[in-house]
C-alpha cells in the first residue's frame, strides 16, 4: 500500500527546528492552501485548509534556514492521521473557535518563492570573471 499527498501553499508562520533525543533534526511549519469557487447563489467562496508539515534531516536544516512566514512551497509526503480519531488534528484556539489541520511527514519540499529576509547577506552576482582564467 502507498499514499502520497502534494500541496502548494504559503507558510503561516516561521518554521521551528528542534532535535530528537537521538540528535536528528526536525523542522515543523504550517502551510495554508486556498480553494476558491462560486456557490449556487453566485457568491465567491474561499476555503482555507491548513497542513502541519514535519521535515527531517538535511532538508529540515534548509527549510529552517531559507523559509519564513509567507513563503510559497510545494510539499510532497505522507499524510499522517490523528491516532485517536483517524482524521485531522482538531484544536480550539483561545477564543474558543475550533479548527483542524492535517499532518504531513514530508519527503520533498520545494521552495517556490525566494525570501532574502533570513539570509545573512545577498550572494555576490557573477560578473563573468577574467577571460584569461577560463581553463578552455
H or E segment to which residue 18 belongs: strand 16-19
What domain range is 76 assigned to?
Answer: 5-116
pTM (2 decimals)? 0.73
Nearest to 75 by CA among 105, 40, 95, 37: 105
Average pLDDT over residues 32-52: 93
Q: Quote the cell numbers at residue 30.
A: 504550517
CA distance 126 to 109: 27
The answer to whether position 63 is within a domain reads yes
Q: Quote the cell numbers at residue 121.
A: 547577506
The answer to whether position 18 is within a domain reads yes
Q: Looking at residue 91, which CATH number applies to its domain?
A: 2.40.50.140
The answer to whether position 66 is within a domain reads yes
Exposed/middle/buried for 63, CB within 10 Å: 0-12, 13-18, 19+? buried
Per DSSP, the three-state class of 60 is helix
The answer to whether position 11 is within a domain reads yes
The answer to whether position 122 is within a domain reads no
29-39 residues labelled b (16+ CB within 10 A) or e (exposed): bbbeeeeeeee
For CA atoms 67, 68, 73, 77, the dihedral sign is: positive
Selected residue with higher pLDDT from 119 and 15: 15
Share of the chain above pLDDT 90, in %: 62
The answer to whether position 121 is within a domain reads no
User: Residue 126: pLDDT above 50?
Assistant: no
CB atoms within 10 A of CB 47: 9
Number of structural domains in the chain: 1
Amino acid at each position: 500500500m502507498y499514499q502520497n499527498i502534494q500541496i502548494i501553499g504559503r507558510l503561516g508562520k516561521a518554521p521551528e527546528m528542534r532535535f530528537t533525543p537521538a540528535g536528528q533534526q526536525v523542522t515543523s511549519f504550517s502551510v495554508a492552501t486556498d480553494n476558491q469557487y462560486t456557490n449556487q447563489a453566485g457568491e465567491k467562496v474561499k476555503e482555507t485548509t491548513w497542513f502541519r508539515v514535519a521535515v527531517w534531516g538535511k532538508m529540515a536544516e534548509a527549510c529552517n534556514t531559507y523559509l519564513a512566514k509567507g513563503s510559497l512551497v510545494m510539499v510532497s509526503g505522507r499524510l499522517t492521521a490523528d491516532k485517536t480519531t483517524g482524521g485531522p488534528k482538531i484544536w480550539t484556539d483561545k477564543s474558543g473557535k475550533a479548527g483542524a489541520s492535517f499532518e504531513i511527514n514530508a519527503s520533498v519540499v520545494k521552495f517556490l518563492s525566494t525570501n532574502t529576509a533570513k539570509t545573512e547577506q545577498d550572494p555576490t552576482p557573477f560578473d563573468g570573471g577574467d577571460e584569461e582564467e577560463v581553463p578552455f
